[in-house]
Amino acid sequence: MADRHSRSADVSTGGPGVTNSHARPAGATASTGVLDGRSGGDAPVPPDLRHTGGGLGGGGSLPRRKGFGAENAFRGLTLAAGTMVLVIIVAITIFLVAKAIPALQANDANFLTTKEWFANETPARFGIAALAWGTVVSAVIALLVAVPIALGIALYLSHYANKRIATVLGFLIDLLAAVPSVVYGLWGLMVFIDPVRDLSVWLNKYFSWLPFFNGEAPFGRSLLLGGLVLAIMVLPIITSLSREVFMQTPTANEEAALALGATKWEMIRTAVLPYGRPGVIASVMLGLGRALGETIALAMTLGFLNVISLNVIENGGNSIAANIANGFGEAGEIGRGALIASGLVLFTITLIVNMIARAIIYRRREFTESAA
């Protein structure tokens, strides 16, 4: 016992600093003696502990972060990139409006309701009605043909085909998106026009009682031809996005449907399609935006008649983008302004379609997060 007491009283091995600490609350020695530089030991107090208030008991502030670092730099770059996109959109809008106003002031007709397009004459008479009609009708035909085929392919690749076949077919479908528009236009004008002409004759023969397929020959360069070419062009977009959406269906939902005795198709109908509906709608809207803005393919396949008619097999039809491509080179000052005004309308339509698509995708993300 005497030996133990002498070791406790020895200053070199703890001394009073050790013995007296029992008379204080826990941590008192660390928070007073160390910080004040009056510990019972001879060890010097580190300077950083004196300034930060740190010690054996903690309680000091953390070291300050540097004012500018890699994280702040990256945040600034991403903010600048996002802001630049908005600036570009606003700049394009201002340019289109500024160039279109003089032509609209010189127009001797109603721009929104007139079907004629005589922007280079004096006085100028032009309107967007027939062009907007052809743009919308060709895009609708494309979606009516492409959406069922794209959804069927997406379901086959995601739930029926084996991995090797799905990989090869998926690659071939994605390859369609890499084909230039001018190739589609040339193919439609020189190769695809003959089968479409035969189809138009058949539709006119057996379904002429419908307003879409009546009329007289010749058939060929029509809204039907342009719409079918557009359908092939938007097919890879809708297929790829829909396939990715279907593959994200929770496995638990599919297994639950199968465990209840559902067939493969019943499982798809009750578990896969409801879960992927927002994504499918978004893919269709993106395909619609692609079809509305197509230029060269429609410039080669439409008949350039500014008419508003439900008939889709007769020669004729025109679109906003195709009219700009065909008329810009020969247009005068007022004519170029008129074409830019029509481009402003197309820009507005496409922007609205893409905003709707983004809103649906955002809604889909919220739905997925809430389900998780």
What is the per-residue pLDDT across 155-201, written as a single tens digit (0 to 9) for each? 999 888 888 888 888 888 888 888 888 999 999 989 999 999 999 98
pLDDT number for residue 347:
87
> Which value, in Å, is the radius of gyration of the alpha carbons in the chain?
36
Token pair belonging to 186? 């040339």
Alpha-carbon distance of 352 to 95, in angstroms, equals 18
The per-residue pLDDT for 4 is 44
β-strand partners of 117: 126
Confidence at residue 369, expressed as pLDDT on a 0 to 100 scale: 56
pLDDT value at residue 69 = 77
Residue 276 and residue 245: Cα distance in Å, rounded? 6
Predicted confidence at residue 71, as pLDDT, reads 85
| Number of DSSP helices (H) and strands (E) in the chain, helices first | 17, 2
What's the token pair of residue 348? 């507005």
Q: What is the pLDDT of residue 149?
A: 94
Distance CA 286, CA 42 (A): 75
CA distance 278 to 245: 9
Task: Estimate to the nearest angstrom the gap between the alpha carbon of 232 and the chain centroid.
Answer: 20
Ranges of the chain whose pLDDT falls below 70: 1-68, 363-372
Task: DSSP letter for 29, please.
Answer: I
CA pair distance 167, 170, nearest whole angstrom: 5
Containing 34, the helix (H) or strand (E) segment is helix 34-36
Q: Which domains does the chain have, with CATH numbers?
A: 2-52 (no CATH), 85-371 (1.10.3720.10)
